[in-house]
Amino acid sequence: MQLKDLLKYENIVIQCHDNPDADALASGYALKWYFEQNKVKARFIYRGRNEIKKSNLLIMIKELEVPVEYAPDFDEVPDLLITVDCQYGQKNVTMTQAKKIAVIDHHIKSNTVAGFSWVRSDLGSCSTICWDMIKEEGFDPNNNRLLATALFYGLFSDTNKLSEVSHPLDRDMMDSLVINKGVIMEMVNSNISLDELQITGKAIINYEYHKGNKTLVIEAEACDPCILGVISDFALETENVDVCVAFYESPYEVKFSVRSCSKEVHADELAAFLADGLGGGGGGHMLKAGGTMLPEYLTKSAKETIDERLAKYYEIYLVIYAKNTKLNLSKMKPYEKINQTLGTVKLSEVFPIGTPINIRTLEGDVDTVITKDAYLMIGVEGEVYPIDEKKLLSSYQMTNFVFTREFEYEPRIKNLQTNEVKLVMPFAKTVRTIGTSIIFAKPLDQPVKLFTAWTEDKYYSGQVGDYLAVRADDEHDIYIIKERVFDKFYKAR
């Protein structure tokens, strides 16, 4: 289903959740703008008991000309109702009757979703979904700089000042939008009210410190999620504090913010661990992350749940430093690598030698400079990583057929000098593995954080069922192989 499929409706109402935030306002704004470009009338409303009063949102509505109406007593029955940044029938949006319902949202999909729905819970903001859908229809939000600025601020606000951005599509939107930085700064500097300043102070005073793990847990009153980031950023500067989790609990959700300055704790991994199975989700990057839990999934208070999950997180992981570790091979089995047909791209065919580039994939961004022997490998599951020609030819034979593969997000390469972006797959050719490499491996019976011999500041996570492996010819070349791909890569000797 595409946005253009909704153009047939004459009476359209776009509704965001009650007490709207910047992401909800930007998303509704984008949809209304799209319909206007197609000469279709649509109203953009919010309902509920409270009219918008937050300073940053009032600035947003005025300076960016957000065409939203407060309609608490709305009683029309439109041909189509689109709920944006929320899902029809949930607690945070006042019920509006309509002949047809559509949902556009980035939260976890509920059982109440009906009719047309575009729910992308892997994305950091609903603004990103609307931006992507509009771009797919051939329209560029940059043609309206006020809208582009609103979309940027929607992502900015919903990802705690971009600290929780993890999906490449979020980064694509962030990079491409042409914004009014002055208005962004005005909104950012009006984000905290005096009442929220008081909330911040009270929360910090009532901290809970877990000495063994150097972790602070701070409970705040219900507030703008950005306040949690302010609290956790400030708290992390405290002596002997390596990790901070700040949170609030409301009738509708539990929001939390995670900060880490410990190489043994990635904030995004901890956020995902805290939220796992609790109706929300967590994400971000190594140092800053955040997430959501839904109250109906909790059997205890949010505080008790977070405390228990923190204790479990620190308890279950085995930390391995490959540089100083020799595995007991008598408890591992020998395997040899299976020949595979993979993909490769010679980077100098994409941009000239010497070009600084950003390689963007679902797994993250990689910055590098193109050399004459620089290549890109494309693995069995579509994973992408740089490799030099010498290492490539030591393990693979060039077969040079066109390599095709479908991706959830197609990797792309950005020229950092010109900002030109090119997709990877049009340049991809096949290679085939040669020779036989021997490893010793065993399935993990507990989660592992592995610092390889070459990456002492970043660990790789292995879960129960994944394989811990070591090359037969290098006892310190220890790595993790995911359970789902092990049989594709290796067979027993």
Judgement on whether residues 285 and 362 belong to the same structural domain of the protein: no
Distances (CA, A) of 339 to 74, 278, 433, 490: 64, 41, 5, 9
Judgement on whether residues 443 and 483 belong to the same structural domain of the protein: yes
Question: CB-based contacts of 39: which residues, under 8 Å, 6+ apart?
Answer: none
Output 391 or 152, whichever has higher pLDDT: 152
Asked if the model's pLDDT at residue 225 lies above 90, the reply is: no
What is the total count of domains within the chain?
A: 4
Q: What is the mean pLDDT of residues 354-375?
A: 90
The enclosing H or E element of 27 equals helix 22-37
Q: From 171, 188, 205, give the residue that closes a domain.
A: 188
Asked if the model's pLDDT at residue 160 lies above 80, the reply is: no
Judgement on whether residues 56 and 147 belong to the same structural domain of the protein: yes
Q: What is the mean pLDDT of residues 77-97?
A: 90
Domain harbouring 159, CATH code: 3.90.1640.10
Q: What is the largest CA-CA distance in the chain?
A: 74
Judgement on whether residues 41 and 62 belong to the same structural domain of the protein: yes
Instruction: Determine the Cα–Cα distance for residues 114 and 16; give it in Å rounded to an integer.
Output: 16
Judgement on whether residues 9 and 96 belong to the same structural domain of the protein: yes
**pTM for this entry:** 0.72
pLDDT confidence of residue 363: 74
Judgement on whether residues 469 and 454 belong to the same structural domain of the protein: yes
Judgement on whether residues 146 and 289 belong to the same structural domain of the protein: no
Domain harbouring 220, CATH code: 3.10.310.40
Judgement on whether residues 291 and 325 belong to the same structural domain of the protein: no
93 closest CA partner among 126, 66, 61: 126
Residues pairing with 415 in the sheet: 357
pLDDT confidence of residue 114: 60
Judgement on whether residues 123 and 137 belong to the same structural domain of the protein: yes
Output 225 or 81, whichever has higher pLDDT: 81
Judgement on whether residues 367 and 306 belong to the same structural domain of the protein: no
Dihedral, CA atoms, 306, 307, 313, 315, nearest 10 degrees?
A: -170
Local structure of 481: helix, strand or coil = strand
Q: From 138, 155, 188, give the residue that closes a domain.
A: 188
Judgement on whether residues 96 and 13 belong to the same structural domain of the protein: yes
Asked if the model's pLDDT at residue 357 lies above 80, the reply is: yes
Q: From 188, 207, 230, give the residue that closes a domain.
A: 188
210 closest CA partner among 249, 238, 250, 248: 238
274 closest CA partner among 254, 249, 251, 296: 254
Q: Which domain holds residue 387?
A: 340-433
Strands ordered across the beta sheet of 318-321:
318-321, 448-451, 460-462
Instruction: Determine the Cα–Cα distance for residues 160 and 349; give it in Å rounded to an integer.
Output: 38
Q: What is the mean pLDDT of residues 417-427?
A: 94
Judgement on whether residues 408 and 308 belong to the same structural domain of the protein: no
